[in-house]
Structure formats: structure tokens, C-alpha cells
Amino acid sequence: MADLDLDELRAELDDFAQPQPKRSTYTPLEERIIAGFEDIIRFREERGRAPLHGEDRDIFERLYAVRLDRLRARLDSRALLADLDSYGLLDTPVEQAQAEPEELDPDELMAQLEGIEATGDITKLRHVQTREERRAAEEIANRERCADFDRFKPLFQQVEHDLGSGVRETRPFVKDAGFSKAEISPGQFFILGGQIAYVAEMGDPIRAPNGETDARLRVIYSNATESDLLLRSLQRALYKDEAGRRITEPSAGPLFQDQADEDDSESGTIYVLRSNSTHPLVTEHRKVLHKIGVTGGSVEARLAGVEKDATYLLAGVEVVSTYKLFNVNRRKLEAVIHKVFAPAQMDFTISDRFGNPVKPREWFLVPLAVIDEAVSRIRDGSITDFRYDPTEGRLVHV
């Protein structure tokens, strides 16, 4: 057997050498982009084609189609995903893509998200209800047409937008997940029977036959209906519905972007408070009376000793929502928020501990869901076009 030259041997072995995986580190945003594109690739492998727009297509295909359009339009995303794009999804000619991505109807979106798996992955269906099952779920309470649905429609549209952008998430409504009966309160959103359910109002506490505290709710649904049911009934219905979900508040992520970059500096926190004061005006409007402020430190430190502070109504407070800020001028942002809600600022006077009259500021008669919408509009830059209309109870375009 002839001896092989070392160079020849190395050349022979090179043909069998396996390429070493590239080591790379990604930012949290890049990881999300890659994960989102991998969903689209799996769709391509399962269906044999790219996702398309169209009302006749299922909700996930339509979401993937919108996502793919956005990735095609971003040069930085195309460069990031080039090695993964074995099917040439990002190179589809523009004329083959829909020029204007569709606006997804919230009723349609939530009806098809009803079977989301408990892992929180919105792309995995665990149980899709039959038409009969869905109809049975809708009959939990006697629903009727919501006469003033125009007031609530923008809230449902905003929730749909927040779910699509990741600002909000859906989570299982189960006992072992920490969601207790007491956590159902005005301003919260749920998914029940394939529809978004918005708790618009809550009546005075009542004593149930079993001794527990209950309350009558006004619940608005995304299909323009409403029901008058008890808090316990809603809670039991959410437990019973395998696809029952709670929609989280948009308070987990940083303001103005999905993730904080390494070089970002935290500016502070927007906080929304509800007072425990027994003042007659506060008692009458407690469910919609909120103090909105911005702090550079921790919210807990800001609230130390509020029971002795007239600006906090000389009473304890409940923190109902917070939003982190990054690279934002806190004073200017606070001024913007207060300007938007100025028409709903509470105008009353109380006496401080020494009997001196004080006019508390930063208290507004605004539902929590509208505050959430305002923060979302701050995030996308559209807040400058809106003001709060107290007569309609919503943000209106100016």
C-alpha cells in the first residue's frame, strides 16, 4: 500500500470533516426575531408554502403573514435571518406579498385563540371547541347586545394589538397559578368561550349564601354583547373553560421598546394607585379614581408614609399597575400623561393633619384600561393625537 503524503491525507480527511457550529450571542430582541421566524419556517415545512393573508385563513397563518411582511421590510432582520432562510421566504418579490397587511378583527382573533396551551405558546392549540361547545360557553350568562359598545371597542382593539406585539400575554386561569377570586376587578380582560371579556363595572359587595363575598359585574364581550353576572360565576366559568385565559396587564416590559438594551439606563416607573380613603368622593368613585405619577426610585419607597400625606388623601393606597421607563425624561413624560387626562382630573379639597386645606393633584377619574391604552400609545408615539373625553369614557382623536 502506497504511503500517503501528509498533505494528501489532510485533504482527504477535510472532505469528511463536519462544519463546526457558529458560536454567536444574540440580544434578547434578536432571539425573539429568530424564534418568530422559526415559527414561520415550521409553517412552511408543514403546509409547503409561505403563510398568506386572508379572512378565510386561520388566525395563526394570518399572524405569521403579518410577521413575515415586517421581517421582509427590515434589512437588519433579513441579515440576521439569512442563514435560516433555506426556503427563500424573505426574498419573495414584493408583488407577491399583500401590499397592505390586513387588520385582524378582535372577535376573530380571540375566537381562534381559545385553545391556547397552558405553556403560554400561542402557536400551539390544545383544545379547539366545537361550535356547540362554544355556544354553551356563551350561555353561561344571559348575554344581550351592548348598546354602548362603541365606548369599549377601542379597548378591545388595543388589547388585540398588545397581544400581537407581545405587550400583553395570555395565561391560564387556574387555581394553582395564583389567580384568586379577589383578582377579578374592573379594568381586567379575560378570554371566555372564545371571546375577550372585559370587566367594565363591579357593584357593591354582597354576602353569598355560603358566606363568601360576591359582587355583581357588568362584563362586556368582544362580540358586542354584555352580561350581568356575579363575580363568583365568572370565576367558576373561567376555571371550567379549558381555554379560559387571563390577559395580563402591559406592565412587564420597558416603555418604548420590547427589551432593554445593555446600554439603556432605567429612568424610573409610571405607577397607578387606587386609594383606600373613606372620603365620600373617593368611596363613590373608587373604581375609576386613580393617581398617576412617575418616580425615579422604587415605588415602595415613594409610598412610604402615605397615610400622613394629604396628596395621597391621608390613607393607604393600592398599586394597581406599573410601567418601567428606559431612556425617558420622567418630568416631560409625566406632563404628557397629565395633559392627556387633564379633563378628568379630580377637583376637591381635603384638610391635612393640621387642618390646612390641600388640593390633591395627580388624581384622575379614568378607568384602568384607558390608562393602559394611553401607555401603549405613548409607546408607539400616537399619544399626541389623543385626549381623554370624560363624557365618553375613552381616548378620542383630536
pLDDT band at 363 (very low <50, low <70, confident <90, very high): very high
Choose among 144, 33, 126, 129: nearest CA to 84. 33
Instruction: In whole angstroms, give the CA distance from residue 157 to residue 140.
Output: 24
What does the pLDDT read at residue 266?
A: 56
Express each pLDDT in 35-52 by its tens digit: 888 889 888 888 888 998
Q: What are phi and psi of 64, to 5 degrees?
A: -65, -35
What number of CA atoms fall less than 13 Å from residue 80's CA on the CB side? 21
Give buried/exposed letters for 328-362 (b at 16+ CB in 10 A, else e). bebeebbeebbebbeebbbeeebeeeeeeebebeb
Per-residue pLDDT for 18 more than 60? no
Q: For residue 372, count other CB atoms closer than 10 A to its CB.
A: 24
Which region, left, alpha or beta, applies to residue 120 given φ > 0 means left and ψ of -120 to 50 means alpha?
A: left
- Residue 144 burial by CB count (10 A; 0-12/13-18/19+): exposed, middle or buried? exposed
The residue among 379 and 74 whose pLDDT is bigger is 74
Q: What is the mean pLDDT of residues 342-367?
A: 85
Express each pLDDT in 126-143 by its tens digit: 444 444 344 444 445 468
Instruction: In whole angstroms, give the CA distance from residue 353 to residue 313.
Output: 11
pLDDT band at 61 (very low <50, low <70, confident <90, very high): confident
What does the pLDDT read at residue 96?
A: 44
What is the β-pairing status of strands 225-230 and 144-145? antiparallel
Instruction: In whole angstroms, give the CA distance from residue 360 to residue 310.
Output: 7
Per-residue pLDDT for 97 more than 80? no
CA angle centred on 343, ends 339 and 344, rounded to 5°: 105
pLDDT band at 124 (very low <50, low <70, confident <90, very high): very low
Express each pLDDT in 140-190 by its tens digit: 546 889 999 998 998 998 888 878 766 777 877 755 333 334 368 888 899
